[in-house]
Structure 1
Amino acid sequence: MSENAVAVLPLPSLSTQSALPAINDAAAPFDDEHADIILRSSDDVDFRVHKLILRLASPIFSDMFSLPSPVPTSLAADETRHGLPVVKLAEDANTLDFILRWSYPVATPKVAELRTITLILDAARKYGIDALYASLAADLSRAVDSDALGVFAVATSFGLEVVAALAAVHSLALPLELLDSAELSHLSIYSYNKLLQYRFACGKSASAVTKKRNWFGRTDCPQVVRVNRGAGSFGSSTFSCAQCYTRDPWDTAQNWQAPLQYWNYLTQVGDLLTHHPHTSVVLSAGLVPSWVACANCRTGDKSNGFDSFTRCLAEEVGAAVAQVPVPKFC
């Protein structure tokens, strides 16, 4: 080849050129041959639908279809298929299928995944389908056990106050350091701060139970915790055991006495409840100590009783937390 020769590169063969994306047709009822428009999802699924139904469901679609052609909007049809105008949308097929099924007189499927619910709510807001929020509230509520903070974030973002309150209560079951979710991008600083304030109020109320003594008198509370009404007596008995029993470190006026392990347990649980106000903390097996009673205590039938004691405390903590007002988050 001479110095002045120009190298000619071969053209790519047809087999190496990028193929157009395959267009798929949606299943019934969105394959109706009598439809008058096609909505195409972002993943190239065509839904053959009726303008009239879309007008009734969405004010955005209603405005679009009332404008003369060509439509000066991002929802304008830019091609045709099967003789019908095609409108390309940003939503994927799953999201679009749910919204259309909700709009049509057909059964609407249940949604379990929080991410899917979020995408549908985003689309509902975009197209002005406000009534869809209430329909999805039940699906969103069912996700609180798997992702309480995520549900809280989504609910506050879309103004679903009842669901947000439910999620806030369920979030108390998680330690503060485990409050995380993939949906945190929907959570505003205002809502998160309100959630932390609510959690702090619950922690204060729950922790205070460990320093109260009114619940010691419950009939199901083990009698191993007693008031020393006089020298050498617990209640009506004359039993006293300096080896096993110590005085209450907080309420000295009533002179409650119990094994030291009880007071240590209450102190530890009270500290933990401040940041994690939930009955699961009280019932945590790792916190419950053992008490080996002396011979006199065993003879007096003052057995351990920790299981009953912790159950009573858990019920009191649950009741105390339930009394804390849940604020408005939205």
Structure 2
Amino acid sequence: MPSATPDVTGDGTTIYDLIPSLKRRHSTRLAAASQPSQDGANNAQDEQDVNASQSSSHLSSPPTEATEPATESKETEVDITPSKRFSFADADVILRSNDGHEFSVHRCILIAASENFETILRNPPTSSKRRKIGNNTTSLPVISTDETGEELDILLTYIYPRSRPNNVRFRHLSFDILLLDRWNILTIRDDLGRQLCSDVFIQENPVAVYNLAKKMGFVDAQHAALKHLYGISFEGNRQYFLDDGIELTAKDLQQIMMWKKEYLRSVMAVVDGYIVPPINHRNSCTKCVSAKQWCWWNTFKKKLHNWNIFNRDTIDKVVFLSLAATECQAPYGDTYKAIKLLHDSLEKEIDKLPVSFE
């Protein structure tokens, strides 16, 4: 019976080292087909049949009652593709994906990264095995996993001291966070969780960010996503809550809407309590000088109460509506200074407000 280990040349190089792109195919039927005939009375026709069988593409003759079904033979065949990035010469373990990709890596690094890896290395699945790789004199354990080759490659990219993936889309960042969470690599997972607070991801899909942050317990990202939602009219917008990946229920949506109302009430309390700075008497608007404050301020507060969102654009729009309503004559330079002052002063106080109310 021929050995399952590939032949090695005199310098220790395997045929797979000479032809890196060759995929190794293992078949129990190949071993059966290469057995010498047990019939001592082989004639020339029998010998011709055997030679034809050995020269075929690793396929034996059609199954008979005494042979295994062809379907069972296919189940034992595995296409193996070595990783181009994670095939270390001093590796002491091989991780195999569920689609036949192999990663020659180091036990100590895997164990240091995750207790899940330590468990699977100490108690490997029954489908795991051992075999020689390259010039190794001893066989290495091959640990089977349920991850795809792409998933294992991403996972090892975070574990090994290499440059991390630069995620610029939420779906990529979300995929990596869930993968790291599945393997209990929490430190790196939490680092990625902090990236969720970025406007890049929140503006792409604030509901999806909130959903993931809520699931993972990323409080800062939850609050950042909620604050963005409070600044848009998301109520009744189907694009936010019909995504199959969103796990929020109707009850969750109702809660967010109630929180938004409470948040806006808190914002208006800050606005109502804001003390307008003294007016420069050189101001060209006589109404402002007479009122000793911006003549449009009271109109601004009344109009702001009627808005169901709050953000920087809201402040700008309501200020200009109020200026037009009161016919303020202040020069544009003074108006823009007032708007900037409102942005800086109000946002500083509003940032202190809670965004969820249990």
Task: Tell me whether 1:77 sits opposite 2:77 in the alignment.
Answer: no
- Whole-Å separation in 2 of the counterparts to 1:195 and 1:209: 21
- Whole-Å separation in 1 of the counterparts to 2:106 and 2:277: 68
Compared with structure 1, are the counterparts of its residues 203 and 218 closer, same or farther at alpha carbon in structure 2 (3 Å cutoff)? farther
SS in structure 2 opposite 1:180? helix
Compared with structure 1, are the counterparts of its residues 171 and 289 closer, same or farther at alpha carbon in structure 2 (3 Å cutoff)? same
Bigger RCO (CA 8 Å, 6+ sep)? 1
Q: Which residue of structure 2 lines up, in the alignment, with residue 24 of structure 1? A: 81
Q: Which residue of structure 1 lines up, in the alignment, with residue 240 of structure 2? A: 180
SS in structure 2 opposite 1:215? coil
Report how far residue 316 of structure 1 moved: 5.4
Paired AA for residue 58 in structure 1: S
- Whole-Å separation in 1 of the counterparts to 2:90 and 2:325: 82
Report how far residue 153 of structure 1 moved: 1.7
- Structure with the largest fraction of helix: 2
- Whole-Å separation in 2 of the counterparts to 1:189 and 1:266: 33
Name structure 1 gaps, 5 residues minimum.
1-13, 229-233, 237-255
Select 2:115's aligned residue among 38, 59, 62. Answer: 59
Instruction: Check the 8 A contact 1:149/1:180 in 2, yes or no.
Output: yes
Q: Which residue of structure 1 lines up, in the alignment, with residue 225 of structure 2? A: 167
Select 1:277's aligned residue among 303, 306, 310. Answer: 310
Task: Tell me whether 1:325 sits opposite 2:354 in the alignment.
Answer: yes
Paired AA for residue 215 in structure 1: V
Instruction: Check the 8 A contact 2:259/2:355 in 1, yes or no.
Output: yes
Report how far residue 218 of structure 1 moved: 5.8
Report how far residue 185 of structure 1 moved: 2.2
Report how far residue 202 of structure 1 moved: 2.4
**Number of residue-to-residue matches in the alignment:** 275
CA deviations 1:124-154 (Å, max 9, x no partner) are 2322222222232343333334333322221
CA deviations 1:38-71 (Å, max 9, x no partner) are 323455432222233222222222122223x7x3
Report how far residue 106 of structure 1 moved: 3.4
Task: Tell me whether 1:108 sits opposite 2:164 in the alignment.
Answer: yes
Percent identical: 17
Structure label with greater radius of gyration: 2
Q: Which residue of structure 2 lines up, in the alignment, with residue 158 of structure 1? A: 216
Name structure 2 gaps, 5 residues minimum.
1-56, 58-73, 134-138
- Whole-Å separation in 1 of the counterparts to 2:259 and 2:322: 31
TM-score, normalised with respect to structure 2: 0.58
Instruction: Check the 8 A contact 1:39/1:48 in 2, yes or no.
Output: yes
| Cα RMSD for the two superposed structures | 4.6
SS in structure 2 opposite 1:116? helix
Spell out the pairing of 1:283-302 with structure 2 (5 A cutoff): 283-284=316-317, 288=321, 291=324
Instruction: Check the 8 A contact 1:111/1:139 in 2, yes or no.
Output: no
- Whole-Å separation in 2 of the counterparts to 1:257 and 1:324: 26
- Whole-Å separation in 1 of the counterparts to 2:280 and 2:151: 55
Instruction: Check the 8 A contact 2:263/2:355 in 1, yes or no.
Output: no
Q: Which residue of structure 2 lines up, in the alignment, with residue 200 of structure 1? A: 261
TM-score, normalised with respect to structure 1: 0.62
SS in structure 2 opposite 1:48? strand
Q: Which residue of structure 2 lines up, in the alignment, with residue 128 of structure 1? A: 184
Paired AA for residue 204 in structure 1: R
Instruction: Check the 8 A contact 1:176/1:276 in 2, yes or no.
Output: no
Compared with structure 1, are the counterparts of its residues 140 and 86 closer, same or farther at alpha carbon in structure 2 (3 Å cutoff)? farther
